[in-house]
Each structure stands twice: as C-alpha cells, then as structure tokens.
Chains A and B, each alone.
Chain A
Amino acid sequence: MRPVGTRILTVEDDARIRQAVTMALEEEGWDVVEADTGERALEVFAAGPTDVVLIDIMLPGIDGFEVCRSIRRSSDVPIIMVTARADTHDVVAGLEAGADDYLTKPFAPKELSARIRAMLRRVRSSDPGNMERITVGELEVSPDEGLVLKSGQELNLTKTEFKLLVELATQPGKVFSREVLLERVWGYDYFGDGRLVDVHVRRLRTKVESDPANPRHVVTSRGLGYKLQP
C-alpha cells in the first residue's frame, strides 16, 4: 500500500529524534507534521485532518497521556504511543488514555510504518464490506456502516474498539484467545502484547456495558480468552 496523502502527526520533544523519525517516515512515503510539545500537538491536530498520531509519552508541559486523552475526547483517530519504558505502568496508562497501540524506543521506522499500515488497514477495512448486521442482546453491530447501537442509541467507539467488537461479534458465544484477537485486530504475529487486548476489552466494556464492573456481554473466559454473549 502506497500511503500517498496520509498525514502523520509526530509529537516528540527531542529535536534530533523528531528530525530523524520524520525523515525516515518521509522516506517511507508518508506526509509528516511535527509538534515539539503537547500544546503544539493539540493546535496542529485541531488545524487540519490527521490520519495517525504518534505521541511520545515524556513531554514537557502537558504529557503524552494528557494529549492522548484530549484528542480522544473529539476524535477516534488511530494513536500510537511511543515510550522509552516498557514498564507495565507506562504502557497500560497509555492504552488507558486512549492509545490504540504502542512502540518502545529504540524502534526501527520500518516497524513503525508496519504498525501504521496495520492501523490504517483496520480503519479502512471497516468502511466498505459486505458484512451483515449482527444483533447480540441489546447490542446491534453493523460493520458496513461502522455503527454500534445499544438499545437503539449509537455508541461512540474508536476504530480499534469497533474492530475488536466486530471480531467478537462474528461468532457470539465463541471464546477468542488473546493471540487470535491480537492477530486479527492489531495484525501482530505470535508475540503480541496481551495487555493491548486486556485494556481495549476494558475500554470497550465502559462503553457497551451498563455495569462495566460486572460485564454481561463482553465476558472473560478465565484462562482462555474473551467472548461476546447476549
């Protein structure tokens, strides 16, 4: 896929990293806009259409988590967090803040491009298609329109949450392991980080469940994975 006209916002305070990553991403053929602070990033994001946001967690002023949360309030744009620490806390907090995926420094721009491509594929594959409308209990999922209705009310899901729900809804009652979900939703092979699935399931529950603490629809099958039930 030749990503012509795909605009990537890179938020990074380290000028050298920003410059090098921008250069490498442009070599890959993406359009890149830069921001050196969280405040600047929000300005740039508001100013024009952005297809993917790449945010470094450690920023002076408002940090990456906050930028992520601010963007999430108004947009379902794919967000990739970049962290120098693969500690549980940073990664999970980034995902909780609304990031769709994460990368650990130092990363190869080639790998980053692959992640971006997987993410855009995720977004686009839910646009056209010929999947039927699926009804699970009070939930109504229509993959073609990218719509989820709960008791007739439209829910506001991010693209990744939506893809996750559609994946689970293809076979209601069937248990999907984290590996399978990582592969189908994120495009990871054998060694994806299971926390991606766990946090997204949690985020999904806060939107589709009446009582997220005692989920009725998106259920954990202990030791096996997750399933969707009416």
Chain B
Amino acid sequence: MTGWFNRLKSTRPWRLRLPKRTLLVRVTLIYTIGALLLSATVAIASFELTRRQLLTDVQAQHRARSFTNAVDVRKRLGQPPPRPEDLEADEEVAAQYQSDLNEFYNIVLKGLSSYNASQSMIVLDNDSIKTLSPTLTLRSLPPDLHPLLRGETLVADARYSQDGKSSYVIGVRLDEVDATYYEVVALQGPETTLAQLRAVLIGVAIVAALCGAVLGITSARRALAPLRRIIRTAEQIADGDLESRLSLQSDQDLATLSLAFNNMVDRLDDRIRREQRFTSDVSHELRSPLTTLAASLEVLEKRKGSLSPAAQTAVELLSDEVQRFSDLVEDLLEISKLEAGVVQVERLPFRPDEFLEFVISQSRRPDIELIYSPNCSDLVLYADKRRLAQVMTNLIDNAEKYAGGVSHISLELIDSSVEIAVVDAGPGVETSQRDRIFERFGRVGSEAGNRADGTGTGLGLALVSEHVKVHGGQVWVTDRVDGKPGARFVVRIPLANDTEEGYGYEESEESALL
C-alpha cells in the first residue's frame, strides 16, 4: 500500500498525463468500434440483400431457360423416330431402333441451349435416364425434388451444394411425353460476383473503421485541447511559474473550470507571496537585534583585557553564540529561498582549480592537500561562485566537526561533469544515514559528543545539497576509495557551456531599472 502510494507520489508527471492518454485512447476506441460496427452491419445487410436478389435473379433466369428447354424437349420428344412394326420379331431391327432412339435423345439433348455449363437430364417414365453428363444421376438430386419424383407436383427447384460448389436444379414434369426434364446449373457466376462484393464490402468496412479512428483522434484531441492546456499550465505552476493562468474559455463548462483553476492558483500565489514576505520580515526582525549584539560584542571584545577571566570567558561564549545565531539566520533564509525556488543563480565562468585553491586558503585549514587529475587543467566551470564556495566551506567544516578534518580534496573531470571529492579520515557515514545527513537538522546520531563543538547550524549539508541542486548537480557520500576508514563527499557539477548566462544580469535588469 505504501509502496504504491510512494510510486504515485514519485511519478507526478505520469499521474498528470494519464487521463490525457486514456481519454484519448478511449474516445478513439469508441469511435473506431462504433464505425466498425456500423459499417459491418451495413456491409452484412447489403451483402445479404444483394446475395438474395442476385440468386433470385439468376434462378429466375435459369428457370426461364429451363422452361424453354423443357418446352423444346416436350416438342421434340413428341416426334420420336417411328417404331418399326417388327421390333419384337427382329433382333437386328430392335438393336437398330434402340440405337436410333439413343441417337434421337442425344440429338434432343445436344439441341438444347446450354449456358454456364448447364447439364440436362431427361428421365423417362420407364426409369430410363438420358443425359450427356457423366456425373448426373437421380441420386445426386436434393430431397427438395422428391415431390416431383413422386408425381405430387409438376415443377420443383432447389439450390444445393455439392463438393463445395453451389448448384441450382429445376425439374419439370412433361406429362404429354411421359418424361421429366431436369436441368442443373452451377451457380458459379453469382458466387464469384458475391465473393468480389464481399471483399469490397470488407474493405469498405475497414476503411470506415479507420476513418472512425481518425475522426475519433481528431475530435478527442479537439475536445481534450482545453484539458491539455490545463495540464500544461498546472505543470508550469508546479515548476514554480506562479504567473501562469488559463485563458478564459468561451464554452460555459470550461469557463467555470478555468475560473476555478485560476482562482485556486491566485490563492496559492497569494499564500506563497505572504509566506515569502513573512520570511523576509522575520529575517529583518532577527537581523536588527543581531546587528546590535554584534556591534556591542565587538566593543566588549576590544576591552576584553580589562575584564575578569570569568567575564572574558562569558564574552567568548557570547561571541561564538552570536556568530552561530547569525549563521543560523543566514542559513535558514538561504535554504527557505532555495526550497521556494526563488533564488537567482549567478553563473560566471571560472577555473575550478584556482577556485578550490582560494577556498582552501580562506578556510580553517589552509594546508589541505588538493589533488587534480591530469584532465583538469584549463577547465572552465560556469557556476555561482558564492554558492559553490559555501558548498566547499560547509563540507570542510563538516569534516572538521565530525571527522577530525579533511584529509584531501580531489578534482576530476568525469564525462562532462566536474567531480570534487572531500575526503576525511573519520568514522565514515553509515549506509543507512547517507541520505539523512543531507536533510535539514539531519545530524548523524544526536549524542552530546557530536555537538560538543557547538558551532554548527544543522543546515550545512542541507544547504550543500540545495546549492548543488540549483546547479543541476548531485552530492553524495561514500566510503573512501582507498579502503581506509573515512568518508568521501562527492560534489558533481555539470560543465555548462552557456556563455550567454555570464553577464546576463546586467542586460536583463537594464530596462527595469533605468
């Protein structure tokens, strides 16, 4: 549960963008599915209608032709070859007659108009079957034709499929000549047409669905544009730009939302300003008595020689504490400004090696060894020198307080970042404490021993962390690389090659001040 919550917290941008994506996807999907359903229904319906119509037409054509053929058959069968008198007596004559008869039927069948590879069959009442087709039999006919076979009806037709092929069969009873005429037509023509129609309709359905998707995306984008504007503005505000506001919308619903949103930001802005003013006022109120204290103490310090030993000690204590209090006020202000994101980072070009030499020379321990890696000569860093100096001073003071002093400081160029390591020979920092020490008042262990010096503000490392952050850098603590006991504080600052920022202040302020 907590893990989930933390993930949610740590991925704020993801959370903000999620509704945008799913909404867009959802609307697009709805449009696509809708278009697909609609076009599929229309396609299936029109396919079915067309199919039926086509089949009905084709069958009507077949029927008409078959009737013509049937009439033809009836007429021709009415004039069979004359039956010889001596048919029964003479075998030769009988055979000749049979042959003539077969020839006669063949001529009749051949004389029929054929189309679409139609096959004809004449079934005589004596169950003799006359056909030119090698496959056509009575058995192959579908059951729909049985009433005809049984003599219950004069005409019957049916559509049936055999071996995957659709066929249409029609049977006509020819009472005058005691025969039944059958005609079978493969429904190949309409089937091919229907297959083509189906392909076209599927294509149309797909295109319609795609159009639906495009329409969905477009309209969703348009509908979501105000939402995206809100998200963008919210992100700008989250990044500290409190001047951002939503432009008023003409749509009534959106106008209400924009108004509420802007109202909220106004109030937020107002509150932040009030808090900043409060910090500023507090600073002023604290600084005034501190000025009096500092000035009075200096007078006392000048006259220390004439004071009793106890009074001298008291002055020293006072002096230390005033200094500490004053540092604390400065650090608190600095850190609250850094955390509010209202600081101005004044980046100037300088050489980090010269800078470190200067900082060390001004520190409590001017003899600290400085180790450069060979690739650090002629490096130029664009950074806020004052902030970086405070970073170094605080790290040096930190080592002084908790680790008996800095062993050495090293300067390296790693990728396109400068890495400064402050190494000490103290007890080191436990792994579990390595993040905590960079928090405000996050001293390691609060045993009295650690605070015996009594000069720290408890904000030193937090300030280090914030100063490094405004430079786009990182700070962390590790074990010493040489395996000896002690801590290694590493500051990494990217080399920003932006010369534009160097003297930017003067130009940008000019118009506002003159």
A residues contacting B by CB (< 8 A) are 14, 16-17, 19-21, 23-24, 27, 58, 84-85, 87-88, 92-93, 96, 104-110, 178, 190-191, 194-195, 198-199, 201-202, 206, 212-213, 220, 222-225
Least CB distance, B352 to chain A, in whole angstroms: 13
Q: Identify which of B294, B326, B346 contacts A194 (C-beta below 8 A).
A: B346
Q: Which of B288-308 contact A (CB under 8 A)?
A: 288-296, 298-299, 302
6 residue pairs from A and B, CB less than 8 Å apart: A23-B299, A93-B513, A96-B513, A199-B513, A202-B506, A223-B499
Q: Are B298 and A108 in contact (CB under 8 A)?
A: yes
Q: Are A223 and B500 in contact (CB under 8 A)?
A: yes
A28 to B389, CA, bound (A): 30
- Beyond A20-B299, A191-B385, A194-B346, is A84–B284 a contact (Cβ under 8 Å)? yes
Q: Are B503 and A20 in contact (CB under 8 A)?
A: no
Least CB distance, A206 to chain B, in whole angstroms: 8
Q: Are A88 and B344 in contact (CB under 8 A)?
A: yes
Q: Identify which of A24, A92, A106, A213 contacts B513 (C-beta below 8 A).
A: A92
Q: Does B447 contact A (CB under 8 A)?
A: no
Q: Are B506 and A109 in contact (CB under 8 A)?
A: no
Q: Are B294 and A27 in contact (CB under 8 A)?
A: no
Inter-chain contacts of A195 with B (CB < 8 A)? 505
How many residues of chain B are within 8 Å of chain A by beta carbon? 37
Q: Identify which of A17, A104, A222, A225 contacts B288 (C-beta below 8 A).
A: A17
- Beyond A23-B299, A194-B348, A198-B506, is A222–B294 a contact (Cβ under 8 Å)? no
Q: Does B280 contact A (CB under 8 A)?
A: yes
Q: Are A106 and B298 in contact (CB under 8 A)?
A: no
A16 to B287, CA, bound (A): 13
Please name the residue on chain B nearest to A105 by beta carbon: B287
Q: Are A84 and B287 in contact (CB under 8 A)?
A: yes
- Apart from the given pairs A17-B291, A202-B514, 15 other A-B contacts in the complex at a CB distance below 8 Å: A19-B292, A20-B293, A23-B299, A85-B280, A87-B280, A88-B344, A105-B288, A108-B294, A108-B295, A109-B298, A110-B298, A201-B506, A222-B499, A223-B502, A224-B503
A122 to B513, CA, bound (A): 27
Please name the residue on chain A nearest to B511 by beta carbon: A213
Inter-chain contacts of B247 with A (CB < 8 A)? none
Q: Does B239 contact A (CB under 8 A)?
A: no
Q: Are B283 and A85 in contact (CB under 8 A)?
A: yes
Inter-chain contacts of B289 with A (CB < 8 A)? 16
Q: Are B505 and A17 in contact (CB under 8 A)?
A: no
Least CB distance, B94 to chain A, in whole angstroms: 127
Please name the residue on chain B nearest to A195 by beta carbon: B505
Q: Does B86 contact A (CB under 8 A)?
A: no
Inter-chain contacts of B294 with A (CB < 8 A)? 106-109
Please name the residue on chain A nearest to B346 by beta carbon: A194
Please name the residue on chain B nearest to A206 by beta carbon: B514
Inter-chain contacts of B175 with A (CB < 8 A)? none
Shortest beta-carbon contacts, A-B, top 6? A20-B295, A106-B290, A223-B502, A223-B499, A105-B287, A198-B506
Q: Does B378 contact A (CB under 8 A)?
A: no
Inter-chain contacts of B344 with A (CB < 8 A)? 88
Q: Does B507 contact A (CB under 8 A)?
A: yes
Inter-chain contacts of B296 with A (CB < 8 A)? 20, 23-24
Please name the residue on chain A nearest to B506 by beta carbon: A198
Q: Are A106 and B503 in contact (CB under 8 A)?
A: no
Least CB distance, B46 to chain A, in whole angstroms: 73
Inter-chain contacts of B513 with A (CB < 8 A)? 92-93, 96, 199, 202
Inter-chain contacts of A223 with B (CB < 8 A)? 349, 499-500, 502-503
Inter-chain contacts of B299 with A (CB < 8 A)? 20, 23-24, 27
Please name the residue on chain A nearest to B512 by beta carbon: A92
A17 to B293, CA, bound (A): 8
Inter-chain contacts of B506 with A (CB < 8 A)? 198, 201-202, 220
Q: Identify which of A104, A106, A220 contacts B293 (C-beta below 8 A).
A: A106
Please name the residue on chain A nearest to B513 by beta carbon: A96
Please name the residue on chain B nearest to A110 by beta carbon: B298
Q: Does B358 contact A (CB under 8 A)?
A: yes
Q: Are B288 and A84 in contact (CB under 8 A)?
A: yes
Inter-chain contacts of A212 with B (CB < 8 A)? 514
A53 to B445, CA, bound (A): 49
Inter-chain contacts of A87 with B (CB < 8 A)? 280
Q: Does B26 contact A (CB under 8 A)?
A: no
Please name the residue on chain B nearest to A88 by beta carbon: B344
A224 to B504, CA, bound (A): 11
Inter-chain contacts of A178 with B (CB < 8 A)? 348, 503
Q: Are B291 and A198 in contact (CB under 8 A)?
A: no
Q: Does B386 contact A (CB under 8 A)?
A: yes
Inter-chain contacts of A92 with B (CB < 8 A)? 509, 513
Inter-chain contacts of B288 with A (CB < 8 A)? 14, 17, 84, 105
Least CB distance, A124 to chain B, in whole angstroms: 26
